[in-house]
Amino acid sequence: MTSLCPRCRKAMLWREGDRFYCESCRRVYQQIARCPECEHPLEKLAACGAVDYFCQHGYGLISKKRIVLKYEEVA
């Protein structure tokens, strides 16, 4: 999966964990998983090597296929 910069829409090729670096903007963006139902950030649960996402606003476990990925600039 290619991660696109939220500012210039170019592919961000540098990644470290949840952080991405855009060479064009020279900025660092943090990847945040949001709930497709309520749009709040999801809690990341790592269990047995698999990662699940949990909505704390009543929608429960959200499958990885349904999460909405957003990128927020890191100051």
Residue numbers at the binding site for Zn ion (CB under 5 A):
5, 7-8, 22, 24-25, 35, 37-38, 55, 57, 59
Residue 22 C-beta: closest distance to Zn ion, Å = 3
Residue 62 C-beta: closest distance to Zn ion, Å = 7
Distance CA(66)–CA(32), nearest Å, equals 13
Nearest residue to 32 (alpha-carbon basis) of 48, 47, 43: 43
Per the rule left: phi > 0, alpha: psi between -120 and 50, beta: everything else, 8 is alpha
Residue 50 C-beta: closest distance to Zn ion, Å = 20
Q: Which residue has the closest beta carbon to Zn ion?
A: 35
